[in-house]
Structure 1
Amino acid sequence: MISGIDTTVYDARTLPANDNVNAYSFSIDLNGEWFTSKGAMIAYYGNIDFSAVSAYASRASWVAARFASPLYAQEWVVASGRGKLVIGDRGNDINSYDLGDGNLTIKQTNLLAFETGLELKQSIVPGFVTLIGTGKFLASSNGPVIFVEPPFRADPEALLGWADCPSPSHHYDYNWMAHSLMSGVQMLFGRESGEERQYDFTGKGTVLLQSSEVQRHDPALLRIVEAQTQMLDAHSAGQLGHKLVARSQQA
């Protein structure tokens, strides 16, 4: 016998239906299709098929209409069929949210799955996507989620998303950067902290924060940067290369 931990044994019948199994996993009662982040599936019961969004769109035009974010298409799959699908994210907290005829912008790496009643679009803020419509979605967070109303400023790495309010602007605390020796050293290596750069929110709406500044790797951001560097001349590209090498060595 195993003692000291929760030893509940689940099967297809006893797994929760569209609810958390625990704080770190969620059981989707699948009867049709869901969009799921690649790698989020940890187990499933039943007859469920997983297809890349691009491949599924070639035989189902509605997928292309609902998933309007080519930049992230390769990071997502369509789970189709019937059964219990268990979603996880490396031990991070997982919560479900119901969006009712609204819009919510969320960090792409924290969005794990969403119903096909929602439409996903590319946000103007790099690293974020926007959900529009009505339906349920799942998101992970490093620690419990905090809900805050504007106006206020948030550390970019703690920011999870925002609903029904304007996109934030960047705010740099030049007084902090001018008087902080450590900040100056970090800037030489391309590092920033929440004390020197923040997202500035104004207007009405709700902002979601995670309780930690730990940020997941977003492979699409590298593709964005690579596309932008094509506009650099040879000298500027060389300078950028030296800074990136220095940053990598420092990290």
Structure 2
Amino acid sequence: MRSDLFAQELQEVEGPGNFVKQNSKMMKIELSQGTVKALQGSMVAYQGNVNFEHQGAGGVGKWLKQKVTGEGLPIMRMTGTGEIFLAKNGMDVHVIELENDSISCNGANILAYSDTLQDDIQLVRGAGMMSGGLFNTTLTGTGQVAIVTDGTPILLNAGEAPTFVDPDAAVCWSAGLQINLKADIGMKALFGRTSGEEFQLAFNGQGFVIVQPSENMRFGGAQDAGQQVQQQSPLGGLGNLLR
């Protein structure tokens, strides 16, 4: 039998590591012991004896955060022995190695992560008040993280110059960066004549920001800037509970 489907570049890629990119759109988790957490529905194939279980929020506090903020993912726990292939809507896959580090990720861009990492939903300090509540998933510790981007991303060094990013295009960043929300709402915004760029995240300090070339509309996507703030402000007094 002959076909370009049997070409070497389409065959399974072996290690090193537990998270192994197969191509730009798919990754493999080599599971031999322990647990790996992944986005529910992201498994496209597996070989071996693998169990898939729904991952709860992890206590009342985390459940409340997920329900109130809308951040966080439906997560499954994968245990057993085998190889699991993951993908999400044909998006580009990237693997990050954390070595006693901490990163802040848009939950919509997380594909999988090691069970050794601690996860939490946190208010993005400096951007929470004016935006009505901007929340990300923080991953801390030593392990691997697989993220997806809608297109090929770029990595910006926030320490080189003042860095501003559309909240919908920001994928993840160094957790130690200082963040503020830059808002430019004038009379034009009140009358519906806006550029669509009324809000940007301002990053300061030493660290990186990963930016994808599309907007996933997490921040509301409303044309009217005043509407945008209202739609993103459901928390009221609950905001203080999530700090």
Q: Provide the aligned length of Structure 1 versus Structure 2.
A: 204
Q: Deviation digits for residues 161-212 of structure 1, max 9, x if unmatched?
A: 11143352211123xx5457xx94277xxxx83x221011112211111122
Matched residues in 2 for 1:179 and 1:226: separation? 22
Q: 1:21 to 1:115 in 2, by over 3 A?
A: same
Matched, 1:53 2:60: no
1:23 aligns with: 24
Tell me which amino acid in the other structure corresponds to 1:207.
Answer: V
Q: Deviation digits for residues 5-59 of structure 1, max 9, x if unmatched?
A: 968665xxx45333111100001101231011111111111100011112xx9xx
Matched residues in 2 for 1:16 and 1:215: separation? 36
Q: Give structure 1 stretches of 5+ with no counterpart.
A: 58-63, 219-223, 232-251
Matched residues in 2 for 1:161 and 1:45: separation? 31
Matched residues in 2 for 1:5 and 1:198: separation? 46
1:237 aligns with: none
- The CA deviation at 1:111 is 0.5
Give the fraction of aligned pairs with identical amino acids, expressed as a percent: 23
Q: Give structure 2 stretches of 5+ with no counterpart.
A: 125-133, 221-230, 239-243
Contact persistence 2:164–2:200 (CA under 8 A): yes
Matched residues in 2 for 1:4 and 1:80: separation? 31
Counterpart mapping for 1:182-221 below 5 A: 184-185=191-192, 193=196, 195-215=197-217
Larger Rg: 1
Q: 1:138 to 1:69 in 2, by over 3 A?
A: farther
Q: 1:217 to 1:173 in 2, by over 3 A?
A: closer
Describe the SS at the equivalent of 1:34: strand
Tell me which amino acid in the other structure corresponds to 2:139.
Answer: L
1:244 aligns with: none
- The CA deviation at 1:117 is 1.4
Q: Deviation digits for residues 111-137 of structure 1, max 9, x if unmatched?
A: 110011111011213341000001101
2:173 aligns with: 162
Matched residues in 2 for 1:197 and 1:8: separation? 42
Q: 1:30 to 1:127 in 2, by over 3 A?
A: same
1:228 aligns with: 235
Tell me which amino acid in the other structure corresponds to 2:192.
Answer: V
2:110 aligns with: 111
Contact persistence 2:182–2:201 (CA under 8 A): yes
Tell me which amino acid in the other structure corresponds to 2:20.
Answer: D
Worse-superposed segment, 149-158 or 105-114: 149-158
Contact persistence 1:52–1:74 (CA under 8 A): no
- The CA deviation at 1:154 is 0.4
Contact persistence 2:13–2:21 (CA under 8 A): no
Tell me which amino acid in the other structure corresponds to 1:115.
Answer: S
* TM-score, normalisation: structure 2: 0.72
